[in-house]
Structure formats: structure tokens, C-alpha cells
Copies of this chain bind each other. A is one copy, B any other.
Amino acid sequence: MFGKLDRKRAYEVARSALRTGAISDMQRALKGLPDTGEKANDLRRRLEAALEKTPPGSTHLRKRGTEAMCLSDGLEFSFRIGSTRTPSVFDVRHVGARVTIVLNSEHPFVRRLEASGEWASPAVLTLLAGWARFELEQPDGRLSSQAADARTDWGRAVRRLLDADPKFGDG
């Protein structure tokens, strides 16, 4: 699955990893970049410098009230419930390798999660963090806004499901 990347893809992954700070992507890119060439050498130097600065490994989730955070693959994910003023289930914000996922306190899905006391379940956080990672790996511009638009429309669809059946999925 994660064999050597072809060259074109290695350049893409290198640029994306420099933007996101994901350790595994930096390592994959380093393996896939060609051994010579000015562009490859420049990216290689920047990746190696970034890897040196990146905190290693991962930490388990720490919860504190309506906040939770964990470090994984060099990315720091923090989750909190808050007002997003959007139709989405969650919003994604990031500054470098710090990814903040705000669960929309006005969305019926999030209200239900909160009421269940399990808003920070591993399954939900993993799905949302995976989406956030996908979204922030999109190059800026058209692809990035397409991903954000999909998240918004997804949030609308979840709301319509819950409007029709507030206990959707309950046994």
C-alpha cells in the first residue's frame, strides 16, 4: 500500500507534507524523490529540516470537558464543541501542523452526541480527523473549496436525516 511513490506523486506528497507537517508523508516523499536535480534537492533539504523540528510519535487522547487533543504522525489534533455558524457538522481550521476541529454546537448531530456523553468517541474523532487531514492535504484553491463544500453539504444531509428521524441509527 505504501510502497515507493512514483516521481510526480513524490513531489506532490513532499509539498503537501511541508504544508501539513505529517511525519509519515515526509518520510514517504523522501523515499520517492529522485536522487539528483535542483528541485528534488531543495525539497529534500526542506523535508529533512522539517522532520528534525517535528515532535515524535503520538500521544493518547486527553479530554477536558468539551475539549480533547491528541498528537498523531506529527499533527496535533484538537477537538472542541463550539459555534461555527455553518450548516456543517464540524469545521476544520489549521495553522501549520495544528489542526482544530470544531464540532458545531448548533447541529442536531452534535447536540445528540453531547447528550449521549460520548461526543469524543474514538470512532467519531477518527472519522472527523481523517476528513480534516484529507481536506488540508488539498492544494489551495478549487480543490480545497470543493472539499469544504462537500463537508457543508454532508452536514446538511445529516441534518435532514435527523430532522426526519431524531433517533436515526438507534437500536
Contacts and interface: CB of A to CB of B under 8 A. Distances in A.
Interface stretch (A30-38, A43-51, A154-162): A154-162
Contacts of A23: 164
A84 interface: no
A24 B157 CA distance: 11
Contacts of A89: 127, 130
Size category of the A interface is 35 or more
A165 B72 CA distance: 6
Contacts of A39: none
Given A72-B165, A73-B160, A158-B126, A153 B171 contact: no
A8 interface: no
Given A118-B123, A123-B124, A150-B150, A130 B161 contact: yes
Contacts of A165: 58, 70, 72-73
A164 B22 CA distance: 10
Nearest to A60: B170
B123 A168 contact: no
Contacts of A109: 123, 126-127, 130
Interface of A: 1-2, 22-25, 58, 60-61, 63, 70, 72-73, 89, 109, 112-113, 116, 118, 120-127, 129-131, 133-134, 137, 146-147, 150, 153-165, 167-171
